[in-house]
Homo-oligomer: A and B are copies of this chain.
Amino acid sequence: MKAIPAATVHRMDRPHPCDVCFQSRFCLPIALPQDELGRMRDIMHNTMRIPKGERLFETGQPMDKVFSVHAGSFKSVVTSPDGRQQIVGFHVPGEMMGLEGFSTRVYMTDVVALEDSEACEIDVRALESSARELPTLQHQIHCLIGNRLARAQQDQFVLGSMQADERLARFLLDLSERYKARGLSPDEFVLRMSREEIGSYLGLKLETVSRLMSRFHQAGLIHVAQRQVKITDREGLAELLVPSER
C-alpha cells in the first residue's frame, strides 16, 4: 500500500472532514456532543492519501482499523475462493469502510480507491474503549454497522428481485441521493467507476449496463456522455422501480 499520511493534527476550532461520519444526518437522530467529538478526534490517527487503484486494505489482513472516506471514492470487493470478484459497495465521503471486519477481526473485502482519495484511519481498540465511556458514540457505532447491514440487505433485494433496468435506475437514484446528502449536486455528477464496475456491483455485464445507459438516454430519463451523468427525468427513473406501473 502506497498510502502516505497527509495530516495527523486536527484543530478543534474547525470541522474535521471526518466529523461528518459521527454526526446526525448520515446516521442517528442524535448528533455526537461536542466533548465526545473531541475524543473522537483523538483516535482519528491520521489521514491517508490513497492513489487511484491502490488498496486501502485487503481480504485476510487483521482488522485493527476502520476508515472513513475523507475525499474521493472507493469500492469494496469480495473475492471467492475460485478467484471471481464482485463489488459489494461503493463509498463516498462520510461513509465508513472496513466494518465487516468486526466479524472475525479480519477484513473480508478489498477496498480500492476509484480515484485519488483520502481516508481517515480510526483505531478499533481506541474506538471501542472510547465507546465504553461515551454512550452516544457507542450508539453511533452500532448505527454505522447496522446501516451497512441494512444497505447490504437492500442490495440483496436488488440483486435477487429486480430486473436489469430497475437495478441501474436504482443505482443512479441511490448515487444521486448520497451525493445530495453530502451537499453535492443530485442531478449532475461524474461516475467514478467504469461500466464494468457498475455491472459487477449490479450483477450485470458491462455491455448490459452500457445498453441500458443508452436506452435511458434515448428515453429522455438521463443525459449521459461517458461518465458524465445528468438526471433529466427523476420521476421517469423512479417509475422503473415500480414494474406494476409499466
Contact = CB atoms under 8 A, between A and B. Distances in A.
A7 interface: no
Q: How many copies of this chain does one complex carry? A: 2
A47 to B, nearest CB: 24
Contacts of A147: 102-104
Interface stretch (A77-85, A208-216, A220-228): A77-85
Contacts of A9: none
A140 to B, nearest CB: 10
A97 to B, nearest CB: 12
Given A82-B244, A132-B138, A103 B160 contact: no
A156 B158 CA distance: 9
A152 to B, nearest CB: 4
A41 interface: no
A102 B154 contact: no
A61 interface: no
A86 B157 CA distance: 6
Contacts of A56: none
Interface in A217-246: 241-244
Contacts of A145: 102, 142, 145-146, 149
Interface in A75-96: 76, 78, 80-82, 84-86, 88-89
Contact of A108 (B103, B109, B153, B241): B153
Contacts of A101: 146
Interface string A134-174: 01001101110111111011111101110000000000000
Given A132-B132, A155-B156, 4 more contacts: A76-B153, A78-B153, A80-B241, A131-B132
